[in-house]
Amino acid sequence: MSRALIVIDVQNDFCPGGALAVPGGDEVVAPINAMMDDFDAVILTQDWHPAGHSSFATSHKDRLPYDMIDMPYGPQVLWPEHCIQGSEGAAFHKDLRIKGDMIIRKGFRPGIDSYSAFFENDQKTPTGLNGYLRDRGLTVLTMVGLATDFCVHYSAVDAARLGFDVTVDKSACRGIDLEGSMQEALESMQKSGVTIALP
């Protein structure tokens, strides 16, 4: 009873037609649904931004989506407005099985973004997921979802750093690939000891 499936941000805004659509984002839904019964626990994460979040380009004068800025916690990509709390865009994809033991909401603090399921982007403020997994004895993690090169990547690296046995199943992930971010993410995960399961 030690294996958990971590389903990252399979939300409408990250699927085709959404505000920050990941190419082929909806293609992860069927394989993720098929995996769920093979694990001892399923944890879903949900990007959950307040309106006017500091990671939105619209919150910064004369800035455009995908510009980089320096925030007090480090470099930050500015994104189109997405996954605003309570919006249809923030909802899980309608076909995703919400067979979760827990839903972790992240990115809800107005002044800091959160890619990882474990920490805000300051790498210090915890989401509570580490403690939950430890308390349940869940030490072997498989990560799936959106997007491979951002939230899946940061979640997997943090999990490995915290001592979990981590696999990213690429068959159930899709990426944005922002200026080479996919290759960088794959190299970063492998250097961190994350297993990459290829389709």
- pLDDT tens for each residue of 91-101: 999 999 998 89
Beta-carbon count within 10 A of 125 CB: 12
Of the residues 15, 83, 151, 173, only one is catalytic, namely 151
Q: Where are the beta strands (DSSP E) in the chain?
A: 3-8, 41-47, 68-71, 74-77, 102-106, 140-146, 165-174, 195-197
Q: Does 151 qualify as catalytic in the annotation?
A: yes
Tell me what the mean pLDDT of segment 79-85 comes to.
Answer: 97
- pLDDT one-digit tens code per residue, 17-60: 999 999 999 999 999 999 999 999 999 999 999 999 999 999 99
**What does pTM read for this prediction?**
0.96
Of the residues 13, 15, 47, 106, only one is catalytic, namely 106
Tell me what the mean pLDDT of segment 85-96 comes to.
Answer: 98
In the predicted structure, residue 1 carries a pLDDT above the cut 80: no
In the predicted structure, residue 112 carries a pLDDT above the cut 90: yes
The pLDDT value recorded for residue 99 is: 84
Q: Does 173 qualify as catalytic in the annotation?
A: no
Q: Does 9 qualify as catalytic in the annotation?
A: yes
> 179 pLDDT band (50/70/90 cuts)?
confident
* Contact yes or no for 4/130 (Cβ under 8 A): no
* Contact yes or no for 89/13 (Cβ under 8 A): yes
Tell me what the mean pLDDT of segment 170-189 comes to.
Answer: 95
Tell me what the mean pLDDT of segment 79-87 comes to.
Answer: 97
* Contact yes or no for 17/153 (Cβ under 8 A): no
> 198 pLDDT band (50/70/90 cuts)?
confident
Nearest to 31 by CA among 7, 9, 13: 7
